[in-house]
Chains A and B, each alone.
Chain A
Amino acid sequence: MSAMNARAVALAAFGALLCALPFLLSSYHVFQLTMVVVYAIVLLGLNILTGFNGQISLGHGAFFAIGAYITAVLLDKTGIPYWATVPLAGGVCLVVGFLFGLPALRLEGLYLALATFALAVATPQLLKYRRLEHWTGGVQGITFAKPDPPPFLPLDSDQWLYFFCLIVAVPLFVVGWNLLRARTGRALVAIRDQPTAAAAMGIDTAFYKSAAFGVSAMYTGIAGALGAIITQFVAPDSFPIFLSISFIVGIVVGGIASISGAVFGAIFIEFVPNVANAISDAAPWAIYGVFLIGCMYVMPNGAAGLVRTLLERARAWRPERRKLLSPTGEPR
């Protein structure tokens, strides 16, 4: 079986598992799984920016919040159907992210981290701000009704929301996959590794960097909109700085510059806090921190990096590969 076929089979099995899970789990677990899908979209977006383009953002919680609030305000003030708010949230975040990316061009590394961190800090404060209260609902936030599943589908609303998020996520992953494995992706990686050489090769560095910011914000905004729809509630305190930090934790634990890493990372940030809580009620975050440090010790390149290493080792031990070795034991 060639590597290509093996990958196709693995993907099909993964897809089948994703479709079967909501029928096997309780509705609370389906909700958690939906959150994993939402986080996976964010982490893919953040990975485009931080992993592939090398711009560290500690502020993606802000774009998540913008997406969520656009959905909430639209559902609260207009009669627009809930699914139509998702592309709108993505579009607005694309523009906001691109515009934020322009001044951010002047900042690198830590300085960019600070600027984006400031964005994350500012977001809850601005959402609480008195003058915007008419729109944002102030500290109380906005609550809206849970969307019903389409009548022709035999699903309850939690299962429907799960499939709705999955329907949004799959094309986003396909687009991300194509984007990153083609010309654009190579340009982003070139800018990360050798900015001067990339510019010398004719890559429009400024455009690609701002565009990476925009696309990354768009993914995050779409995820924010989905997050709002599945919880039917937004408030300034749902978007603390810790949310942005969780996102960075997610991409690093999952695996930097890796598409499958987004899924591993999403599983980590959704479930590990619960596991930590189950281990110790008194100091759950201490357990979380120990998990975090432990992960970095065991797999400094993230879960995806670990899987890659294991697969390579497994491949190196396959019999047909060993037959290819020349009599001196060197690979041909």
Chain B
Amino acid sequence: MDALLHQVLSGLATGGIYASIALALVMIYQATHHVNFAQGELAMFSTYIAWTQIDAGFPYWVAFVLTLLFSFVMGVLIERIVVRPIENAPVLSIVIVFIGLLVILNSVAGWIYGYTIKSFPSPFPENARLFGSYMSPHEIGMIAVTLAVLLLVFLFFRFTPLGLAMRAAAQNPVSSRLVGIRVGWMLALGWGLAGSIGAVAGMMAAPIVYLDPNMMSGVLLYGFAAALVGGIDNPWGAALGGFIVGVLENLAGAYVVGTEIKLTVALVIIVGVLLVRPSGLFGRTLVTRV
């Protein structure tokens, strides 16, 4: 029983990372109906930026905030420079541009920082043990940070004029433009926010998976799965999907098949869920008029 509880709780902790990436994916998907395949690599790049600052002697939380700002600007710039010129291209062409972005970021990070694995500090105390020995402080911290991000995103979209404008631009771009919302900039802001949320996920993941240019490939896949399981048009569903995927992955690894093919098993379960509920657990079923 103890072991089971341990697995579930540590699954929740990694689930937090998936939830953040899923949230970042949903942020862009809601506004533009594109899945940003480069989201994981953006987060990885942000984490390297944070590492550079910490390495240069900045205190952790200063580096944290600066990295969020940097990632926001990077997201906005990518939307403006790379994505904007092709917004009317066929969907698959846009997917290919994202894949291009993915390999560029990955390769540039490897080129600048090398492919050797680096350790990344956790901001939470090392030895304190809360809840007996079920979770390490970093795991608890990770969950707390994820929930905090979720809360902030909720407050932003629910209670600020800018959040309202962004929701309007995503739901009905034409009418929003008519009432004076600059829809193009709202999309860019969405990219910026997604960049920052991804950066949080990267910095939380790095102490566990270590820092290297390929650290996010698995995480992105799980985040994608989480977003789809939860429903890609629903941020809360996506975040919950993240926790579900994290727990499933851990339980599958611990009890069903061992760590060798746990990725496979987790994905099979996810696809199984989708076969029963094709628009995700909490997604809206789209009804289209023919």
Contact = CB atoms under 8 A, between A and B. Distances in A.
Given A115-B271, A296-B97, 6 more contacts: A197-B290, A248-B96, A252-B95, A289-B99, A289-B100, A297-B86
Given A248-B96, A293-B97, A283 B107 contact: yes
Interface stretch (B45-53, B201-209, B262-270): B262-270
B268 A118 contact: yes
A117 interface: yes
Contact of B267 (A113, A122, A253): A122
B82 A122 contact: no
A251 B95 CA distance: 12
Interface in B86-139: 86, 89-90, 92-97, 99-104, 106-108, 110-111
A292 B99 contact: yes
User: Main secondary structure on chain B at its contact with chain A?
Assistant: helix
19 contacts: A50-B92, A103-B275, A107-B271, A108-B278, A111-B274, A114-B225, A117-B221, A121-B221, A194-B290, A241-B217, A248-B96, A249-B96, A251-B92, A290-B104, A292-B96, A293-B97, A293-B104, A300-B86, A301-B93
B261 A252 contact: no
A231 interface: no
Interface string A277-291: 000001111101111
Nearest to A287: B107
Given A56-B92, A293-B100, A297-B86, A121 B267 contact: yes
A126 interface: yes
Interface in B20-35: 35
B80 to A, nearest CB: 14
Nearest to A122: B264
Contact of B89 (A128, A290, A296): A296
Nearest to A301: B90
Contacts of A128: 260
A122 B290 CA distance: 37
Nearest to B100: A292
A307 to B, nearest CB: 16
Contact of A289 (B95, B101, B111, B275): B101
Contacts of B57: none
A184 interface: no
A286 B288 CA distance: 40
B271 A252 contact: no
